Amino acid sequence: MKAQVAGETDELKKQGITPGLAVVIVGDDPASRVYVNNKKKACELVGFKSEEYALPAETSQEELLELVKKLNEKKDINGILVQLPLPKHLDEKEIIEAIDPIKDVDAFHAVNVGKIMIGDYDFLPCTPAGVMEMLAYYDIPVSGKNCVVIGRSNIVGKPMAMLLLHKNGTVTICHSKTQNLKEISAQADILVAAVGIPKFVTADMVKDGAVVIDVGMDRDENGKLCGDVDFENVKDKTSYITPVPGGVGPMTIATLMKNTLKACRLQNNC
Ligand code: NAP
């Protein structure tokens, strides 16, 4: 995906157009710092212009809104990404709604969320879209399959379920109030874990031959990066399984590059 974006970017540059992504990070959350650095590196790799705005944790709502407004107006910036979570005193919803929907390369703005709901969209949220890319790349059929998504956040679980539904999956969404979660997940042909609890999905929750997608980015008891799936004990039951690290994380970033390129094309009518 990155090679494809890089190739198209080269062509655009010949017309004097360089896609630009602005990444805004507030505070010093170490995980967010890592994500932002990875996004910057990916921009360099595909030939985008990238701007980073690293703001102190005590930044006010007004200051952040002012920056978003400035970035909305900047002609050389096609995509704006505000790294979440924001510090507690800031109103995430208001900040996201302040981003011009055509620059909302995360697809978190209500306009873009609504478009996804009706299946007529410019951008898809990066993590679920990256998962769909993987399924398509490996020719894994979704139509008619039992798809179970554990997690219902606005950024992963809900859009993930919607994209599987658009591909004609029979989708069940589970969450912290779900009863009989084990029984439900064990019926899944495609199981997506987006819970945020290390090794939450155990072997008894997985059907033989299932496709298991691990969205989780968690830390185990030794502080090591791991997923929501107990990979070692689950892997032999599956037909496909994504690792952590690897798997969904890099696909998320590749999709961000693709979305930024699309935003650039839309803004330049090219
Ligand atoms: P989130 O907003 O905290 O949502 C977690 C979801 O899991 C909620 O819907 C919650 O249910 C559900 N849940 C919690 N405990 C549960 C339980 N015991 N049984 C069933 N469901 C339970 O998290 P998120 O933002 O969606 O992220 C989920 C994970 O993905 C995290 O590890 C995050 O770091 C990772 N992530 C990775 C990427 C990537 O690029 N790879 C991108 C984004 C997120 P309720 O709604 O009922 O509370």
Q: What is the pLDDT of residues 102-158, one digit of tens each?
A: 999 999 999 999 999 999 999 999 999 999 999 999 999 999 999 999 999 999 999
- pLDDT value for 105: 97
Assign a CATH topology to domain 2-101: Rossmann fold (3.40.50)
Q: Which residues line ligand 1 (CB under 6 A)?
A: 127, 150-153, 155-157, 174-178, 181, 194-197, 215-218, 248-249, 252
User: Which residue's CA is the nearest one to ligand 1's atom 8?
Assistant: 151
pTM of the predicted protein model: 0.96
- pLDDT value for 210: 98
Is residue 63 within 8 Å of 96, Cβ to Cβ? Answer: no
- Kindly give the distance from the C-alpha atom of residue 229 to the centroid of ligand 1, in angstroms, as a whole number: 12
| Alpha-carbon distances, residue 90 vs 63, 67, 114 (angstroms) | 11, 14, 24
179 in catalytic set: no
- Return the domain boundaries, the chain: 2-101, 126-248
106 in catalytic set: yes
39 in catalytic set: yes
- pLDDT value for 98: 98
Model confidence at 6, in pLDDT bands (50, 70, 90)? very high
User: Which residue's CA is the nearest one to ligand 1's atom 4?
Assistant: 153
On the question of a common fold for 2-101 and 126-248, the answer reads yes
- Kindly give the distance from the C-alpha atom of residue 175 to the centroid of ligand 1, in angstroms, as a whole number: 9
* Long-range own/partner contacts, residues 7-13 (CB < 8 A, 24 or more apart): 8/261, 9/46, 9/47, 9/48, 9/261, 10/47, 12/261, 12/264, 12/265, 12/270, 13/47
pLDDT tens digits for range 107-122: 999 999 999 999 999 9
Mean per-residue pLDDT, 256-269:
98
Assign a CATH topology to domain 126-248: Rossmann fold (3.40.50)
Give the number of the atom of ligand 1 that is nearest the alpha carbon of residue 157. Answer: 26
| Alpha-carbon distances, residue 56 vs 25, 34, 69 (angstroms) | 9, 16, 18
Average pLDDT in the chain: 97
pLDDT tens digits for range 53-62: 999 999 999 9
- pLDDT value for 222: 93
pLDDT tens digits for range 88-106: 999 999 999 999 999 999 9
